[in-house]
Structure 1
Amino acid sequence: MTHLLHIDCPDEPGLVFRITQVLFEHGFNIISNQEFVDQSTQYFFMRTAFAGDRPPQVVVDQLRQRLSPATTVRLATAGKRPIVLMATKESHCLGDLLLRHADGELNADIQAVISNHAVLEPLVNRFDIPFHHVPATHDRAAHERGVLALLEQYRPDYLVLAKYMRILSPEFVARYPFRILNIHHSFLPAFVGARPYHQAFERGVKIIGATAHAVTNDLDTGPIIAQDVLPVTHTHTAASMAQAGRDIEKLVLARALKLLLEERVFFHHNRTVVFE
């Protein structure tokens, strides 16, 4: 079985040697290793895939003893991760993820789809995945209690907002820190908030894009995981920009989710280190 080791800490000499020495001492084989030092903060990040017959927790215990108290050590097992998708009315991102899941492209097990509208239920039913309609009301707290009650049943590793067009409360976000993935139909930090294609059209931009980011308490400003762009011209209207943007939105969301599922993303302050 392959295990994934995440380590981040203030940089110091000899870290790679000391970490890999622990793996060697306990008979583990390193399959791949990536490391990076952020020169602006002198902070060290390392992702290591390793395999062996012994329980991997011994590595974590040893590293916590040998490395500084400021070190974060996290262990994951390579394999399918439980996720829940959340959507509203738009089908392109949700449909793309459902297709990828059906084709075995996602290293995930989609446990359910939760939506504040019933529009997408026929689509989800085609894939034999549970669909839950939690109606949107003016009482956001009541709506979120209904969603959280469902999530307690499924206990997902990640929530994926596949065009879930509601702002989540700080209390909700705190339940899943850096575990809620959102797709924003703009190349952030430009055109934050609602109607970004209309904003882009009014500004006369020559490229439009999409941004997948972790959800935080501040609207559309969470750490960015993946982005991409495509060119547009003066002939595009706001509507045709939105239509063109749907393709890039679903590709960026799928790529960001893949990176998360493969444990390739480190969150550091409001930035990310992504080992591709």
Structure 2
Amino acid sequence: MQKHILRIACSDEKGLIYRISNVLFENNFNIDRNDEFVDSEKNLFFMRTEFSGDCDVQNLKNILQEILPEDAKINLTQNKVKNVVILVTKEHHCLSDLLIRNEFNEMNFNVLSVIGNYDILKDLTGKFDIPFHYIPAENISREEHQQKIAEILEQYDFDYLVLAKFMRILTPEFVKKFKHKIINIHHSFLPAFIGANPYKQAHERGVKMIGATSHFVTDDLDDGPIIYQDIIKVNHAQNAKDLAKLGKEVEKKVLAEALKLVFNDKVFIDDNKTVIFE
């Protein structure tokens, strides 16, 4: 029996859950799980439903559109494996974690290729029989470099781009081209310590905890909708290098947890925030 995920975002009004559930019932579907949330400040309704049964996707979407508010956004899919391209620079910890998870099918994703502006991680990627594209950024503009990346991406039918410590600022044109499809890991508990050298900033500030944040990429540096965050406690005896070493462990965990949520269609983007059904 087919398994489906229905996601709806629209203006809130009375009876939405009843109407949606009734459509599924009348079409002989079985609801396996249902989650909903109302943002009362914006009067917005969010619903994620897992259901079973043979489904004519377009027909069901048409029926739902008739009984929902005009602004309704309806996403209806099967829980398919997400195809991913990973962008990297020099650091291996996030990439290696994702490659191992991919190798052993630990997450709902398939790594198609890795693109790097250095070739340092080429051999690591090759151990998993995944193509590595080396696109150096020296002596060319940011726009030229990212155009070269975009040309490589045309070879792949991917769902998401994952920045696994890709230490390059993306141009507005690149971000716009792949809107809501680029996921980053930032070595800080945002909005604290934005930009470069966050562990140095944290050490100088004498923080008692450090963290990491995974978020969708927007034109505003490190300010896109947050998907997942976590922290660990630290103390005054640890220097900036110690914090950076500990931070790598948090970064791996946070990126993986964020990707699990996104790849299982549990994340709604609401302006610069997210609604997540865990």
Question: TM over 0.5: same fold?
Answer: yes
In the alignment, the residues of structure 1 paired with residue 32 and residue 58 of structure 2 have an alpha-carbon distance, to the nearest angstrom, of 17
DSSP 3-state at the match of 1:153: coil
Q: Which residue of 1 aligns with 2:150?
A: 148
In the alignment, the residues of structure 2 paired with residue 170 and residue 213 of structure 1 have an alpha-carbon distance, to the nearest angstrom, of 16
Deviation (angstroms), 1:42: 2.1
Q: Tell me if 1:268 matches 2:232.
A: no
Letter in 1 for 2:68: L
In the alignment, the residues of structure 2 paired with residue 9 and residue 40 of structure 1 have an alpha-carbon distance, to the nearest angstrom, of 14
Give me the identity figure in percent: 51
In the alignment, the residues of structure 2 paired with residue 171 and residue 22 of structure 1 have an alpha-carbon distance, to the nearest angstrom, of 41
Q: Which residue of 2 aligns with 1:246?
A: 248
Letter in 1 for 2:161: L
In the alignment, the residues of structure 2 paired with residue 89 and residue 235 of structure 1 have an alpha-carbon distance, to the nearest angstrom, of 28
CA displacement 1:103-126 (0-9 Å, x = unmatched): 110111110001110000010000
Letter in 1 for 2:87: M
Deviation (angstroms), 1:76: 1.9
In the alignment, the residues of structure 1 paired with residue 158 and residue 166 of structure 2 have an alpha-carbon distance, to the nearest angstrom, of 17
Deviation (angstroms), 1:203: 0.6
Q: Which residue of 2 aligns with 1:87?
A: 88
Deviation (angstroms), 1:54: 2.9
Letter in 2 for 1:170: P
After superposition, where does 1:186-205 map in structure 2 within 5 Å? 186-205=188-207
Please tell me whether the aligned partners of residues 87 and 162 of structure 1 are also in contact (alpha carbons under 8 angstroms): yes
Q: Which residue of 2 aligns with 1:29?
A: 30
TM-score, normalisation: structure 1: 0.98
DSSP 3-state at the match of 2:66: helix
Letter in 2 for 1:89: K
After superposition, where does 1:67-82 map in structure 2 within 5 Å? 67-82=68-83
Letter in 2 for 1:7: I
Q: Tell me if 1:178 matches 2:170.
A: no
DSSP 3-state at the match of 1:154: coil
TM-score, normalisation: structure 2: 0.97
Deviation (angstroms), 1:53: 1.5
Please tell me whether the aligned partners of residues 3 and 56 of structure 1 are also in contact (alpha carbons under 8 angstroms): no
In the alignment, the residues of structure 2 paired with residue 82 and residue 244 of structure 1 have an alpha-carbon distance, to the nearest angstrom, of 30
Q: Tell me if 1:226 matches 2:248.
A: no
Letter in 1 for 2:109: A
Q: Which residue of 1 aligns with 2:129?
A: 128
Deviation (angstroms), 1:63: 1.0
Count of aligned pairs: 276
CA displacement 1:198-237 (0-9 Å, x = unmatched): 1101111000000000000000000000000000000111
DSSP 3-state at the match of 1:165: coil
Runs of 4+ that moved beyond 2 A: none
Deviation (angstroms), 1:40: 2.3
Letter in 2 for 1:174: K
In the alignment, the residues of structure 2 paired with residue 54 and residue 44 of structure 1 have an alpha-carbon distance, to the nearest angstrom, of 24
Deviation (angstroms), 1:175: 1.3
